[in-house]
Structure 1
Amino acid sequence: MKRIHSPALDLNLIKVFDALLEARSVSRAAETLGVSQSAVSHALGRLRTLVGDPLFVRTGGRMEPTPRAQRLAEPLRDLLLGAARALSVEESFDPLLEDRSFTICTSDAVQAVLLTGLLRDISTEGREESRVSIALRSLDPDAMLNGLDDGTIDLVIGYLPEVRRWHDREFLYLENHACLFNPDLLPLTAPISLEDYTRYPHLMPALRGGFSSFIDDDLHALGARRRVAASTTQFLAIPMMLKQTAMITTLPTRTARFCAQTVGLAISPLPFPSEDFEVSMGWHRRNTGSPSHNWLRQRILNEAKTL
């Protein structure tokens, strides 16, 4: 107990350490914490004395963590998260009684395939209206993860091969890819051949923009190539375009099936092997024990099981 109440053990120092680890800058850490740069510098000095290690070393304009700081990172963040959960006033959640809004970040394609069921559920809970509201956003992967950290985003959904060490993740479903085209404009029938696939121009979905993707790598390995005539970040604009354009697109199979059924297009398996990928949901670990957040994640997990 004496060690716990030692004057040297200041939990504010842990917050400074965590902010520096995230920002890699004294000025940005100070901005995050709402304190002066001198306060952060002073706290870092106390930390260095307490730990007996420099913890952060200036390298090319950035404060890079030492090996000791890297070892401390996870246990100290867990300590902060545990304190935040312990002090949280949220002990239970009832969507019929409590107002709660969530922000979910994912592609428009996942919104249509996975989240329409969630929206249907919150429109009525049994015979009563839910008091939950959902904001759906589409951002690039880096912005999504930053949003989890600053609290502007509750949940991200999609292909998440890497999340930050203070994020949690749960698998939703395994996905693959399929082709989509308008049979009224292209003389094709499913299943299409590799020759068919490469003969016509492509409309490519691209969250980050650009004109190439893993598809082009797969084709290159086969000694083939396609011509990407256009790309768009808006997946669900693609079926509208294909209704009037003699192009082929490659989409996640569930999205392609949804578009084909909704707009009246043809779907075909890819004419070459391509790896499946996982669709997962990710969130900041500080929300892992939140009853309302647990309610949201369970609803999405239940919906994913029906796909």
Structure 2
Amino acid sequence: MKRIHSPTLDLNLIKVFDALLESRSVSRAADALGVSQSAVSHALGRLRTLVGDPLFVRTGGRMEPTPRAQRLAEPLRELLLGAARALSVEESFDPLLEDRSFSICTSDAVQAVLLTGLLRDLSDQSVEAGRVSISLRSLDPDAMLNGLDDGTIDLVIGYLPEVRRWHDREYLYTDNHVCLFNPDLVPLTAPISLEDYTRYPHLMPSLRGGLSSFIDDDLSALGTQRRVAASTTQFLAIPMMLKHTAMITTLPTRTAEFCAKAVGLAISPLPFPSEDYDVSMAWHRRNTGSPSHGWLRQRVQKEAQGLR
């Protein structure tokens, strides 16, 4: 008990340490904590004295952690997460009795193929999700993980090869890619050949609005290339565009099936090998023990079972 109540042990110092570790900047850490830069600098000085290590060293405009700071990172973050869970007032959750809103960040394509069942339940007040509301946000690869950290996003869904060490992730389903086109304007019959695939211009889905993707790397390895005439961040705008343009697009299989049925387009397997990929959901670990957040994750998993 003496060590727990030691005057040198200030839990606010751990919050400063965590903010510096995440931001690598005194100014950004101060903004995240809502304090002045001098307060962060003072706290870092106290931490250095307490630990006997510089902890963070300025390198090229960034505060890089020392090996000692890297070793402290995980146990100190677990301490903060444990405190947050212990102090949480939420002990149970009944979606029929309690008002709760969630923010889910995912692509429009995943919204269409995975979340329509959940949205259907939200429109029926007699079912389990009676008093829940959901805000669906576009998937922003550069901002989504920050949204989990600052609490503006509850759940991220998509292809998530990397998350931060304080995020939890859970597998939902596996998908792959196929071609999609209008057979009235692109007179091909499935399965199309590699020559056909590269002969027509392409409309490319891209979350960042780029004009190349892994498809171009695969084609380059085969000694060929395609012409990307346009790209769009809105996956579900693609079928309407293809309805009126002689282009080919490459989409996740389940999204392509959804689009083909809705607009009357043709699907073909890719004329070259392409690896499957996993769709998963990620959330901040502070929400792992939350009953309401657990309800949301279970509900998403229920929808994903039909896609496996």
Q: Match of 1:137? A: 137
TM-score, normalised to structure 1, is: 0.98
Partner of 1:198: 198
Unaligned runs of 5+ in 1: none
**Which residue number corresponds to residue 222 of structure 1?**
222
Structure 1 counterpart of 2:202, one-letter code: H
Aligned to 1:304: 304
2:26 is aligned to 26
RMSD: 1.1
Aligned length in residues: 307
Corresponding residue for 1:187? 187
The 5 A counterparts of 1:211-290 are 211-290=211-290
Equivalents in 1 of 2:296, 2:128: separation in Å? 18
The offset of 1:159, in angstroms, is 0.5
Question: Contact 2:125 / 2:131 at 8 angstroms: preserved in 1?
Answer: no
Quote the offset at 1:191 in angstroms. Answer: 1.1
d(CA) in 2 for partners of 1:244 and 1:41? Answer: 59
| 3-state SS of 1:77 partner | helix
Instruction: State the Cα distance separating 1:113 from its structure 2 match.
Output: 0.5
The aligned amino acid for 2:14 is: I
Alpha-carbon distance in structure 2 between the residues aligned to 1:36 and 1:69: 22
Q: Can you list the C-alpha shifts for 1:109-141, whole angstroms capped at 9, x where unaligned?
A: 001010111111222254577111000011321
Alpha-carbon separation, structure 2, partners of 1:92 and 1:7 = 36
Query: 2:105, 2:171 → 1: CA distance?
Result: 16
Check whether the contact 2:191–2:271 (CA below 8 A) recurs between aligned residues: yes
Aligned residue type for 1:155: L
Q: Percent identity?
A: 88
Tell me which residue corresponds to 2:152: 152
Instruction: Give the TM-score of the pair, scaled to structure 2.
Output: 0.97
Unaligned stretches of 5+ residues in structure 2: none
**Residue-by-residue CA offset, 1:264-290 (whole Å, 9 max, x unaligned):** 101111111001111000111111111
Q: Secondary structure at the match of 2:239?
A: helix
Structure 1 CA distance, aligned partners of 2:156 and 2:129? 25
Match of residue 106 from structure 2: 106
How far is the alpha carbon of 1:223 from its aligned partner?
Answer: 1.1
